[in-house]
Structure 1
Amino acid sequence: MVAASPHFKVRTDWLQQVREEVIDPGQPIFDCHHHLWDRPEGRYRAAELAEDVHDGHDIRASLYVQCRTGYLEEGPEAMRPLGEVYTILDWCQAQPFLPVGIVAFADLQLGDAVRPVLDALTAAGNGRIVGVRNTTAWHPDPVVRSNPRPAPEGLLRTRSFLEGARAVAEAGLCLDIWAYQNQLAEVLALARAVPELNIVLDHCGGPLGIGPCRMDDPDSFADWRNALADLAAEPNVMIKIGGFGLSVMGYRYADAACPPQSDRLADDWRPHVETCLDLFGSGRAMFESNFPVDKGQFSYRTLWNSFKRLASGCDAWDRDNLFWRTAARCYGIDETVFTT
């Protein structure tokens, strides 16, 4: 049985209480991490995505990341994630760059046997399959949960996962990893074991603010930063900056009478964002929306205004890296989408 959603409920009326002017509307953006679904707790398909991305910021393209949408209900279990690719391409056929690429699911616990699954996904994607992601985030405290189907403990350490990761690298795909800060040593071991694999660490590497980890605990922050520094020393690891609306991060903007404004968000997130930039630099870091997961806490327009505030001290090259260039290079997206 699948547990209830751990995400904050999206309340359109609540979000509409804050309507900021768009900061730097000419900045091209590649939203390199969002989901699409049609679930009992809410719908976020092509129309809802388009409503957000066309709300003032210059979103040129987006990247869909797996979330168990539209799996096939029959056939071999390993091949059922093909349904997600078919579903997303069907939903978004009128929007060729939304998404321009797909990070799909293939069970890396299959080890070498995942190769035909990767081939099938690539064929189904018509050139849009650029990466793979598995459900890997795990913490011993059951309060720390960001997925309706939590991963088993130790998944990233298994020999079969390592073999599957090598297959991903040989297929020319990236591996997105969503791991909490307590798992970063496991990600480090994987990065060192498969140096030819491009690893993209989602959501700032999973800093935690619930359960045994308090947001105001300097020791917890130091543990996250130190583990992230080890990962940043590996040239095959990149990082996505975002995910601050996830309940496990510890922010409770959704509890307030009004949604937060971008200056508040920028101030709150600055320590984590500056740490990511100090360690990885703009050439290996990229901003992400993580919508609609994060939409329960702030609007799309406010989110990108926050990132623009946080990048205001960067020069034009670094800003472009953070907003589109790094992600485009990482996932092999034609840069002319953002420059013409």
Structure 2
Amino acid sequence: MTARIDAHHHLWDLQAVNYPWLMAKGVRRFFGDPSPIQRNYLLDEFSDEARAHGIAGSVHVQVGADDGLAEARWVQSVADANPGWPMAQVVFCDLTKPDLVQNLGDFQKLSTVRGVRQIVGRAPEEDAATGTNALLEDPRFLNGLRMAAQLGLSFDLQLVPELMEKTASVLVEAPGLEVALCHAGSPHDRSAAGLRDWSKKMRALSDLPNVTCKLSGLGMFDHDWSPATIRPIVETCLEQFGPERVMFGSNFPVDRLYSDYGTLLEAYLELIPQGAQQDVFHDTAARFYGLNVRRR
């Protein structure tokens, strides 16, 4: 069996790095009540769960630390201390800042860094309060995307369906940028009409050959999900992107609020055709993130 890759997860050490959102008490987030995960979540715990289900390497994605470089250096230290667990990382860097070239250079001194994530949209309610959607109107953001591409960095794109068409028009202006669409584009309206609208809007992104899709985070907007409820999302992603542009991510420990690792992985194994599983569970992520995970 080919070793599997988890292309989207998080780790945190509340003593080593400051995560303001994670340390805030009594604050409900768009994905629900975070209190059960407001504790350290370290590589040993994650890898023990993941290894039991054939995962042998992973991609760590930034998770809202107040200092993105401090978080990246901590993740690098974890990777260095665990050479038996291949791990790449996607970091937070504000692409609109004037000292962007220096900032990206600092990140690239870390061998695990492959890409950047600056969230464009989380959920309509939170976005209305935070104003993150304004990035799409900011020419500095587009320039930052282009700079990341020039330096060989990818971009992890998190947004909601309402922003897909506008985002696609921005990405067309950065054609050399490899983009990973997080959480299948966050289809937050799971009604039949909502999923039809999501599928229609996602065409603007799936038509771009440099955009790859992550099957991740589907529990955030459906806490009582089942294979049947996520089937239309999985099938649409595979149809629009093709398995060679789709990769699996657990979004743990956030999606651990709604599922254990085995239940999550088994659902995807049930829904993804056997002939597509090599791509979705290994090859796409290995290629996109330059991650060497040995077969066993």
Shorter-normalised TM range: 0.7 to 0.9
1:163 aligns with 2:118: no
96-105 or 220-229: bigger deviation: 96-105
Query: Are the equivalent residues in 2 in contact too, given 1:136–1:151 (CA < 8 A)?
Result: no
Alpha-carbon spacing, 1:177–1:330, altered in 2? closer, same or farther (3 Å): same
**SS of match in other structure, 2:96:** helix
Alpha-carbon spacing, 1:97–1:155, altered in 2? closer, same or farther (3 Å): farther
1:301 aligns with 2:272: no
* Cα separation, 1, equivalents of 2:179 and 2:49: 28
Q: What's the counterpart of residue 7 of structure 2?
A: 32
* Cα separation, 2, equivalents of 1:288 and 1:338: 18
* Overall identity of the aligned pairs, in %: 30
Query: Are the equivalent residues in 2 in contact too, given 1:191–1:236 (CA < 8 A)?
Result: no
Among 237, 245, 248, the alignment partner of 1:287 is: 248
1:53 aligns with 2:50: yes
* Cα separation, 2, equivalents of 1:90 and 1:42: 19
**SS of match in other structure, 1:244:** coil
Map 1:59-70; keep pairs closer than 5 Å: 59-69=55-65
Q: What's the counterpart of residue 33 of structure 2?
A: none
Q: What's the counterpart of residue 17 of structure 2?
A: none
Q: What's the counterpart of residue 129 of structure 1?
A: 113
**Letter paired with 1:47:** D
1:124-169 Cα shifts (integer Å, max 9, x gaps): x1x2110000122155534x79xxx945332123101000000100
Query: Are the equivalent residues in 1 in contact too, given 2:5–2:55 (CA < 8 A)?
Result: yes
Q: What's the counterpart of residue 289 of structure 2?
A: 331
Query: Are the equivalent residues in 2 in contact too, given 1:157–1:186 (CA < 8 A)?
Result: no
Alpha-carbon spacing, 1:88–1:138, altered in 2? closer, same or farther (3 Å): closer
* Cα separation, 2, equivalents of 1:105 and 1:235: 24
Query: Are the equivalent residues in 2 in contact too, given 1:104–1:132 (CA < 8 A)?
Result: yes
Q: What's the counterpart of residue 176 of structure 1?
A: 156
Report the number of matched residues: 274
**SS of match in other structure, 2:172:** helix
Query: Are the equivalent residues in 2 in contact too, given 1:177–1:201 (CA < 8 A)?
Result: yes
The structure whose Rg is larger is 1
**Letter paired with 1:141:** E
Map 1:168-317; keep pairs closer than 5 Å: 168-209=148-189, 215-216=190-191, 218-246=192-220, 249=221, 251-253=222-224, 265-311=226-272, 313-315=273-275
**Could you tell me the TM-score, scaled by structure 1's length?**
0.75
Structure 1 runs of 4+ aligned residues shifted over 6 Å read none
**SS of match in other structure, 1:42:** coil
1:110 aligns with 2:97: yes
Q: What's the counterpart of residue 258 of structure 1?
A: none
Alpha-carbon spacing, 1:93–1:151, altered in 2? closer, same or farther (3 Å): farther
Query: 1:96 offset after TM fit, Å?
Result: 2.4
Give structure 2 stretches of 5+ with no counterpart: 15-22, 24-37
Alpha-carbon spacing, 1:289–1:42, altered in 2? closer, same or farther (3 Å): same
* Cα separation, 2, equivalents of 1:139 and 1:245: 14
**Letter paired with 1:132:** V
* Cα separation, 2, equivalents of 1:102 and 1:165: 17
Query: Are the equivalent residues in 2 in contact too, given 1:63–1:98 (CA < 8 A)?
Result: no
Query: 1:38 offset after TM fit, Å?
Result: 3.4
Map 1:64-103; keep pairs closer than 5 Å: 64-69=60-65, 80-96=67-83, 98=85, 100-103=87-90
**Could you tell me the TM-score, scaled by structure 2's length?**
0.86
**SS of match in other structure, 2:209:** coil
* Cα separation, 1, equivalents of 2:186 and 2:131: 15
Give structure 1 stretches of 5+ with no counterpart: 1-25, 72-79, 210-214, 254-263
1:97-136 Cα shifts (integer Å, max 9, x gaps): 545201011101126x31111110111x1x2110000122
Q: What's the counterpart of residue 322 of structure 1?
A: 280
